[in-house]
Amino acid sequence: MPTAFLTVIPPSSVVYAVTLGVMDIRAITPDEFRAYASVWERTFNFDGKDDELAAEAKVHELDRSIVAVDDGTFVGTGGSFSFELTVPGGVVPAAGLTAIAVLPTHRRRGVLTSMMRYHFEDVQNREEPVSLLRASESVIYGRFGYGVATYDSSWKIGRRDASFTVQGQIGEAVSLIDLDRAKKVLPEVYAGAAPATPGFLSRGKEIWDHALSDLESWRGGFTSNRFALFEEDGAALGYLRYRAKDTWEQGLPKNEILAAELIALTPQAEAALWRFVFSTDLVDEIRTQNRPTDELLDLLLAEPRRLVRRRTDGLWARLVDVPAALAARRYRVEGRLVIEVVDPFLPDHGGRFLLEGGPDGAVCRWTTDEPDLVVDPVALGACYLGGGSFALFRAAGRVKGETKAAQLADTMFSWHVQPWCPHYF
């Protein structure tokens, strides 16, 4: 977690007028965490166990928490993580919006809208050009200017349906490691992989402690975390965190493996870890939750159609400081574009911006020149990491400009790999 951002003072308590009256919006104090979490319990329909709440309290940045208080009662919550986001050719500080909830008794009266305004003030004060989130429902955040910047791909496959086009040796350079070793080596591999793929988020110690705390209630009937590590010449080049489920039907093994996170620094490491999973005896089915859309495994399998896949929205991005965000990344080809951003929720953050960028870097500044493209923050957020297409937004009537301007923007913004975010928050 970038400590530079932890010391910044959040916006002081702000009083917002919402349709039910005047509401105080502020950060919580540590002794208010239980009351804060009880809003999530009522909103997301679960009873938080003590160990879960303790784990959440440790990972949340309380100075970035948000609570909406109506006449002394907490009715809405939110918060942010201070991340560094990998963008094409660089990194940018980014706020990860989290814990958004409004009590069922107080919905559709503008509580979330007020909390979003508070959040964007905080993001601006901390000079983070980008706000990010993962959405519970895809209908909520477009109105606040967020676009889908990465996709999660989940798949399942019967183990016996999988034969590999390129064979390796069973057990090649893959070992099972214990939790203590995992705590040391997983963060190193993850940090090594982060610069290559736009959409990766920095994970500080608190986040790793949370991710590996492996509470019973998080296992969903599967085993505790298991860790497979691929090493070459003493260097850790890839890991798989997985769980298994022991199921038998009429004397036949129907065990499952849930491959929770596979991160590799080389294609050889990635292939070896998949071969390890697919060679595990008694396993009938292998599942994943969140894999990239451009998955190496497709090319390793003789019958990739056997992967039964679902694609869902992953990371949503919202540029809060457009010129800073656009200048922080690199572009695939040299180009010059004037982009006008029409921003209905934060009109002062819109305007016309001249972007001059290429593989070696970029500059972006305000301009009065005529725009090549007119976009809204949703389209810009969706295209920012190289995943979305300006031409497709234009075809849908959501970006204005000449075809060739949209094509140039797509060529400039695209990157060598599809953006992907393995992190949940």
Ligand X SMILES: CC(C)(COP(=O)(O)OP(=O)(O)OC[C@H]1O[C@@H](n2cnc3c(N)ncnc32)[C@H](O)[C@@H]1OP(=O)(O)O)[C@@H](O)C(=O)NCCC(=O)NCCS
By CB under 6 A, the count of residues binding ligand X is 18
| 108 contributes a contact to ligand X by CB under 6 A | yes
| 110 contributes a contact to ligand X by CB under 6 A | yes
Of 96-104, 177-185, 244-252, 342-350: span binding ligand X (CB under 6 A): 96-104
98 versus 389: smaller Cβ distance to ligand X = 98
Please report how close the Cβ of residue 41 comes to ligand X at its closest, in angstroms: 11
| 140 contributes a contact to ligand X by CB under 6 A | yes
C-alpha 89/C-alpha 103 separation (Å) is: 41
Binding residue for ligand X, selected from 34, 107, 305, 416, defined by CB under 6 A: 107
C-alpha 398/C-alpha 378 separation (Å) is: 9
Q: State the SS3 of the chain.
A: CCHHHCCCCCCCCEEEEECCEEEEEECCCHHHHHHHHHHHHHHHCCCCCHHHHHHHHHHCCHHHCEEEEECCEEEEEEEEEEEEEEECCEEEEEEEEEEEEECHHHCCCCHHHHHHHHHHHHHHHCCCCEEEECCCCCCCCHHHCCEECCEEEEEEEEHHHCCECCCCCCCCCEEEECHHHHHHHHHHHHHHHHHHCCCCECCCHHHHHHHCCCCHHHCCCCCCCEEEEEEECCEEEEEEEEEEECCEECCEECEEEEEEEEEECCHHHHHHHHHHHHCCCCEEEEEECCECCCCCHHHHECCHHHCEEEEEECCEEEECCHHHHHHCCCCCCCEEEEEEECCCCCHHHCEEEEEEEECCEEEEEECCCCCCEEECHHHHHHHCCCCCCHHHHHHCCCCEECHHHHHHHHHHHCCCCCCCCCCCC
264 versus 421: smaller Cβ distance to ligand X = 421
Compute and round to an integer the Cα radius of gyration of the chain: 23
| 212 contributes a contact to ligand X by CB under 6 A | no
Q: Are 392 and 375 in contact (CB under 8 A)?
A: no
25 versus 91: smaller Cβ distance to ligand X = 25
Please report how close the Cβ of residue 19 comes to ligand X at its closest, in angstroms: 8
Please report how close the Cβ of residue 377 comes to ligand X at its closest, in angstroms: 16
Q: b vs e for 25-52, b when ≥16 Cβ sit within 10 Å of the residue's Cβ?
A: bbbbeeebbeebbbbbeebeeeebeeeb
| 224 contributes a contact to ligand X by CB under 6 A | no
| 257 contributes a contact to ligand X by CB under 6 A | no
Please report how close the Cβ of residue 75 comes to ligand X at its closest, in angstroms: 9
141 versus 230: smaller Cβ distance to ligand X = 141
Of 130-138, 195-203, 243-251, 318-326: span binding ligand X (CB under 6 A): 130-138
Of 108-116, 191-199, 228-236, 412-420: span binding ligand X (CB under 6 A): 108-116
| 317 contributes a contact to ligand X by CB under 6 A | no
| 101 contributes a contact to ligand X by CB under 6 A | yes
Please report how close the Cβ of residue 115 comes to ligand X at its closest, in angstroms: 8
Residues 143-172 that bind ligand X (CB under 6 A): 143
75 versus 399: smaller Cβ distance to ligand X = 75
| 113 contributes a contact to ligand X by CB under 6 A | yes
Binding residue for ligand X, selected from 23, 95, 112, 201, defined by CB under 6 A: 112
Binding residue for ligand X, selected from 29, 136, 175, 312, defined by CB under 6 A: 136
Please report how close the Cβ of residue 190 comes to ligand X at its closest, in angstroms: 24
| 38 contributes a contact to ligand X by CB under 6 A | no
Residues 44-73 that bind ligand X (CB under 6 A): 44
| 139 contributes a contact to ligand X by CB under 6 A | yes
108 versus 178: smaller Cβ distance to ligand X = 108
Please report how close the Cβ of residue 66 comes to ligand X at its closest, in angstroms: 11
116 versus 328: smaller Cβ distance to ligand X = 116
Query: How far, CA to CA in Å, does 243 sit from each of 51, 218, 286, 289, 364?
Result: 20, 11, 10, 12, 46
23 versus 173: smaller Cβ distance to ligand X = 23
Q: Which residues are catalytic?
A: 141, 425
**Sites of contact with ligand X (CB under 6 A):** 43-44, 100-102, 107-113, 135-137, 139-140, 143
